[in-house]
A and B are shown apart, each in its own frame.
Chain A
Amino acid sequence: MTDASMQGGAAAPSRKSSIHTIDARTKKRNAAEARFKAYGLAAILVGLFFLVVLAVSIVRNGLPAFTETTVDLEFVLTEEQYQEAEGTLFKTAAYTDFFIAGLREQLVEDGVEVAFDEDAIERILGKVGGNLREFYRANEDKLGEPVSFTMSASSRVDGYMNGRVTRDGLEDSRFLMATDLDLVDVLRDAGIITQSFNWNFITGADSGVDNPGGAGIGASVVGSFFMMIVVLVLSLPIGVAASIYLEEFAPQNRFTDLIEVNISNLAAVPSIVFGILGLAVFIQFMHLPQSAPLVGGLVLTLMTLPTIIISTRASLKSVPPSIRDAALGVGASKMQAVFHHVLPLAMPGILTGTIIGLAQALGETAPLLLIGMVGFVARGYPDGFVGGFTEANSAMPAQIYTWAARADVSFYEKAWGGIIILLLFLLTMNIIAIILRRRFERRW
């Protein structure tokens, strides 16, 4: 006893230290913490950097898709020319020839000094014949009168106006000669070639491979919209009902465990698997129409259900059990307890999960490739699309994929523009999710 206390007394002075000097061990720990903070900060900065790079490149590549270069011309087609054009074998080519002649006259009238030939004009103009013929066949009464046309220029002229095509390194080809650009400059100064906002890109339908100027994402926005309606109408009630049953009513046994594990597994199944399932079941077995938003919606419903079920179950689980006890304690039945008290409290989580599921479905491409929602050119747009659950259509991501795969660089530009539209929709959905969550949470 005495020994111990004496030892303690002797040891005490040596262990005594000032809190004004930091010992080695503390220094080491502080250094470790500082290092960890630096790693974290670095990780966030790297992430931000890539985000900025992504955003900038999307905007830079995509914005030109929203402007179009047009050739504006007042043009007269006489009755005789109309008959002549209709009588030839290549009708649209004949119309193109008349338009070129018209433009040439206009240029001569304006006193353009640059030497040019018909081929140069043809290279500058897009394929205008089809549009002209369509117009005059619909409005025969306009024959012989001056009509002002706005025709989209060829994709390379569009590229020149947007700065994608420059004189440096331009090799003469049958698509564009360096001298054509002089003519383009003159036409621009004369106000014949102008740039304007491309509404057609937002409202229009996809065009053929040789007409990038006329391509729009509108039809596929409609297609995506119909698909999302199908997904929402099917997956929200089914998903929520399934989660409520599993979470609140189902007995805990092997069978429900198995279901639970499989739902988690389904959430991780690659989407292309759902695509081939949809192809086999909905199209080959049930004979639903190919390329239809209905089928796309059904396939995406299969994909979205696990997401919705998992998030709904998580938000049901997070409602404190005391609320259930309280409801049961005053004599509510289990169903009343769930629907009057638990479900309203879980609602913000359910809505968030649903919208995130929908956003995921909106951006999904792979399953749509398999059910034929790519490589399609709209006919009868927009009339044929209004009732369009079973009409062939495309969807935004599938449309972007189609454009990116085409040879003409102008389509590549359209693909980037399509991505901007898609991201705008996703951003809107996420904002709606946040607003809904806030609104519902404020009520409690």
Chain B
Amino acid sequence: MYDAPNTELHVTQNDIKIAARKVQVYYGDTHAIKDVDVDIEDKTVTAFIGPSGCGKSTFLRCINRMNDTIDICRVEGDIQIDGEDIYDKRVDPVQLRAKVGMVFQKPNPFPKSIYDNIAYGPKIHGLAKNKADLDEIVEKALRRGAIWDEVKDRLHAPGTGLSGGQQQRLCIARAVATEPEVLLMDEPCSALDPIATAQVEELIDELKQNYSVVIVTHSMQQAARVSQKTAFFHLGHLVEYGETGKIFTNPEDTRTESYITGRIG
């Protein structure tokens, strides 16, 4: 009883990082996302859960405009990061993506050395003035990706030679190397074994100190473990959004309850 309001207070202290209003996404004639309104907080892990095809990944990819690369995809509505509309005509998606990093479902390191994997982003954005700078950025990113100790002796070995879990942490390190403000993760652990998953989850927990992390997951246990806020998507609608604890223990919507108890999905 004493704890509850305190947690509430703690959570609402965070600023709103991403604000989405009436977001619609169409793939050709298919209406994939319908009227999604959501406020995602800074320095918080927000989990998107829901059955396959519910639109959670689609919505995630709207936040860094990765959907722009799909010809038939059309986004309507309003998504703001720090009060700026990311679908404004003046926004260059390339610049936006430096600010909103992304980690994908399957670990996808470039077929280059570990060092080059991390250094690529900072290089193209001009974050390093010289080699020493770049070395420092690479080390910092690898440390934040919790993989430095494992790879520091073989920075010039190919990134594709690492194990699955290491590759995924390398990808996370690569994403944080460009100093983003938001980190989007699309089922980052679906290709990993339980031990690697635990390592990545631990990492996500640390990352929330600096970033607003949005994670799409199929595992409800994972959502419960790592996130402070959870959003439940179903058939393109955002059904329910709130404190993770509340969503899992006392959902308001019957669809959320059915999904969590395994009756739909």
Interface positions, chain B 157-179, Cβ under 8 Å from A, are: 158, 160, 171, 174-175, 177-178
* Total residues of chain A contacting the partner, CB 8 A: 21
A331 contacts B104, C-beta separation under 8 Å: no
Is A340 part of the binding interface, using a Cβ–Cβ cutoff of 8 Å? yes
Chain B residues, CB < 8 A from A320:
108
Is B64 part of the binding interface, using a Cβ–Cβ cutoff of 8 Å? yes
Q: From DSSP, what is the main secondary structure of chain A's interface residues?
A: helix
CA–CA, A330 to B175, complex, Å?
A: 6
Residue of chain B at shortest CB distance from A340: B120
Give min CB distance, B250 to chain A, whole Å: 36
Chain A residues, CB < 8 A from B175:
329-330
A326 contacts B171, C-beta separation under 8 Å: yes
Chain B residues, CB < 8 A from A88:
none
B110 contacts A331, C-beta separation under 8 Å: no
B178 contacts A330, C-beta separation under 8 Å: yes
Is A30 part of the binding interface, using a Cβ–Cβ cutoff of 8 Å? no
Chain B residues, CB < 8 A from A360:
none
Give min CB distance, B77 to chain A, whole Å: 22
A329 contacts B110, C-beta separation under 8 Å: no
CA–CA, A252 to B158, complex, Å?
A: 35
Give min CB distance, B166 to chain A, whole Å: 16
Is A444 part of the binding interface, using a Cβ–Cβ cutoff of 8 Å? yes
Give min CB distance, B61 to chain A, whole Å: 10
Chain A residues, CB < 8 A from B101:
329-330
Give min CB distance, B167 to chain A, whole Å: 11
**The stretch of B42-50, B92-100, B129-137, B231-239 that contacts the partner chain:** B92-100
Is B69 part of the binding interface, using a Cβ–Cβ cutoff of 8 Å? yes
Chain B residues, CB < 8 A from A251:
71
Of the candidates A323, A324, A329, A331, the one whose C-beta lies within 8 Å of that of B124 is A331
What 1/0 flags go to B110-135 for Cβ under 8 Å of A?
11000000001100110000000000
Is B109 part of the binding interface, using a Cβ–Cβ cutoff of 8 Å? yes
Given contacts A251-B71, A323-B110, A444-B158, A329 and B125 within 8 Å (CB-CB): no
Is B218 part of the binding interface, using a Cβ–Cβ cutoff of 8 Å? no
Residue of chain A at shortest CB distance from B93: A328
Residue of chain B at shortest CB distance from A252: B71
Chain B residues, CB < 8 A from A444:
111, 158, 160
Residue of chain A at shortest CB distance from B61: A325
A322 contacts B120, C-beta separation under 8 Å: no
Chain B residues, CB < 8 A from A334:
69
Given contacts A330-B97, A341-B110, A444-B111, A322 and B104 within 8 Å (CB-CB): yes
Of the candidates B104, B106, B160, the one whose C-beta lies within 8 Å of that of A329 is B104
Interface positions, chain A 309-339, Cβ under 8 Å from B, are: 320, 322-334, 336
Given contacts A331-B94, A331-B95, A326 and B109 within 8 Å (CB-CB): yes
Residue of chain A at shortest CB distance from B71: A252
Is B189 part of the binding interface, using a Cβ–Cβ cutoff of 8 Å? no
Is B226 part of the binding interface, using a Cβ–Cβ cutoff of 8 Å? no
Give min CB distance, B108 to chain A, whole Å: 4
Given contacts A331-B121, A331-B125, A326 and B110 within 8 Å (CB-CB): yes
Chain A residues, CB < 8 A from B120:
327, 330, 332, 340
B98 contacts A322, C-beta separation under 8 Å: no
B71 contacts A329, C-beta separation under 8 Å: no
Chain A residues, CB < 8 A from B171:
326
Q: Which of A251, A320, A327, A330 has the most CB of B within 10 A?
A: A330
B124 contacts A332, C-beta separation under 8 Å: yes
A331 contacts B98, C-beta separation under 8 Å: yes
B104 contacts A333, C-beta separation under 8 Å: no
Is B207 part of the binding interface, using a Cβ–Cβ cutoff of 8 Å? no
CA–CA, A444 to B160, complex, Å?
A: 8
Given contacts A252-B71, A444-B158, A328 and B97 within 8 Å (CB-CB): yes
Interface positions, chain B 65-95, Cβ under 8 Å from A, are: 66, 69, 71-72, 94-95
What 1/0 flags go to A129-144 for Cβ under 8 Å of B?
0000000000000000
Is B216 part of the binding interface, using a Cβ–Cβ cutoff of 8 Å? no
Is A345 part of the binding interface, using a Cβ–Cβ cutoff of 8 Å? yes
Is B102 part of the binding interface, using a Cβ–Cβ cutoff of 8 Å? yes
Residue of chain B at shortest CB distance from A326: B108
Residue of chain A at shortest CB distance from B121: A330
CA–CA, A331 to B121, complex, Å?
A: 7
CA–CA, A340 to B120, complex, Å?
A: 10
Residue of chain B at shortest CB distance from A335: B94
CA–CA, A67 to B34, complex, Å?
A: 83
Chain A residues, CB < 8 A from B103:
329
CA–CA, A336 to B102, complex, Å?
A: 17
Residue of chain A at shortest CB distance from B69: A328
A329 contacts B111, C-beta separation under 8 Å: no
Give min CB distance, A35 to chain B, whole Å: 43
Give min CB distance, A345 to chain B, whole Å: 7
Residue of chain B at shortest CB distance from A331: B98
B108 contacts A328, C-beta separation under 8 Å: no
CA–CA, A251 to B111, complex, Å?
A: 28
Given contacts A331-B95, A331-B98, A325 and B121 within 8 Å (CB-CB): no
B94 contacts A329, C-beta separation under 8 Å: no
Give min CB distance, A314 to chain B, whole Å: 19
Give min CB distance, A196 to chain B, whole Å: 54
CA–CA, A340 to B177, complex, Å?
A: 18
Of the candidates B66, B97, B106, the one whose C-beta lies within 8 Å of that of A322 is B106
Chain B residues, CB < 8 A from A326:
104, 108-110, 171, 174
Give min CB distance, B104 to chain A, whole Å: 6
CA–CA, A323 to B171, complex, Å?
A: 12
A-B contact pairs, 27 of them (CB 8 A): A251-B71, A252-B72, A322-B104, A323-B108, A323-B110, A323-B111, A325-B102, A326-B109, A326-B110, A326-B174, A327-B110, A327-B120, A329-B103, A329-B175, A330-B97, A330-B101, A330-B120, A330-B174, A330-B177, A331-B97, A331-B124, A332-B124, A333-B94, A340-B124, A341-B110, A444-B111, A444-B158
Q: A329-B102, A332-B94 are in contact. List 15 more A-B contacts (CB 8 A).
A: A322-B104, A322-B108, A323-B111, A325-B66, A326-B104, A326-B109, A327-B120, A329-B101, A329-B104, A330-B97, A330-B175, A332-B120, A341-B110, A444-B111, A444-B160
Give the 4 A-B residue pairs with the shortest CB-CB distance, closest first. Answer: A331-B98, A330-B121, A322-B108, A329-B102
